[in-house]
Amino acid sequence: MGQNAGILGTGHSYPEGILTNADLEKMVETSDEWITTRTGIKQRHKAADNEYTSQFGSRAALQAIERAGLKPEDIDVLVCATTTPDQILPSTGALIQAEIGAVNAAGMDVFAACSGFLYGLTMVESMIRTGQAKYVVVVGAEVLTKYVDYTDRGTCVIFGDGAGAAVLGPVEEGKGILATKIKSDGRYAEQLYSPGGGTRLGLTHESIDNRDCFFKMKGNELFKVAVRSMADISAEMLEKAGVSADEVDLVIPHQANQRITDAVAARLSVPEEKVFSNIAEHGNTSSASIPIAMDECIESGRIKEGSLVLLTAFGGGVTWGGTVIRF
């Protein structure tokens, strides 16, 4: 069966800059009431012009490593889930590896939008289980505010910046990741996408003028697919782990939209008090949302020794995933 993989330490970091709904009212045709009723968001963190993804990822990773009682050189693999890399080449994972001094690690990126952290978790779980790696850092880090179109009120009110990280390693039987699965369906690619800047359209004056490098989203259509996908994979993973929804102490969904979170919880018949939400303070931080939320829950005592936690995410691609963990 191999070695169970569990979370040994977590960390998070985000910019000091904050963009409130009142700030957005001055930038685009919207209102606090419109944003709050549709998304649940009150504010989001916003990176300064001279701040970038790997800075936040590095801080979160170092905090997680320290809390796990390890040193950077103990890390075998560092996976960075991001949709907003520092640059095309090299990977942000390699840049974080260098920044924190994880000299023995293989640094790499995972590109799965808001599901990226669970993609990373699922990949490294099997590496730890088979003995390919002992200690692994999975980082979710984003500076999304540099990719939002502040003339598009449907998307610019949603996204925020930040990073979260978790150190995984061997844990005793009955603990750690009990079940995990990731999925995608590229037929829904244009529900949430950014067409510019790649080899298809290139980085041309035309693509810049057309605002092709910004995020584009079909929110109403995405809502239905997101709720169904997250609820279905969550139920499947609970069954695989051999536990019921009643036994779960806490559900941490990707913080996409409060209405999506509420709908997923209702489909799983999980009471509101067992579902974590910090979207009002942070907005949607894509791959960073689950590790930030997890770290906040550990810091506040909502996750403690023995807690049974369900993580579930959905993002562009479209991608989705579900993970059941015993702490």
In order of 46, 82, 142, 168, 312, the CA distances from 161 in angstroms are: 6, 11, 5, 24, 20
Instruction: Say which of 4, 156, 284, 297 is annotated catalytic.
Output: 284
- The three-point CA angle 130-133-135 to 5° equals 125
- Specify the DSSP class assigned to residue 108: E
Q: Give all strands (DSSP E) within 144-233, no chain letters.
A: 161-171, 176-184, 192-193, 216-217
Cα dihedral sign, 245-177-54-302: positive
- Tell me the one-letter amino acid at 219: G
Q: Helix (H, G, I), strand (E, B), or coil: what is residue 126? A: helix
Q: Is 282 a catalytic residue?
A: no
| Cβ count within 10 A of residue 172 | 9
Phi, psi dihedral angles at 122 (to 5 degrees): -65, -40
Q: Is 284 a catalytic residue?
A: yes
Q: What is the dihedral of CA 115, 120, 123, 125, to 10 degrees?
A: -110
Cis ω for the linkage preceding 157 (within 30 of 0)? no
Q: Is 297 a catalytic residue?
A: no
Can you tell me the distance from the alpha carbon of 172 to that of 16, in angstroms, rounded to the nearest whole number? Answer: 38
Instruction: Say which of 80, 114, 156, 297 is annotated catalytic.
Output: 114
Count the alpha carbons within 13 Å of 186 in the hemisphere toward its beta carbon: 1
Instruction: Say which of 156, 254, 282, 297 is annotated catalytic.
Output: 254
Catalytic residue list: 114, 254, 284
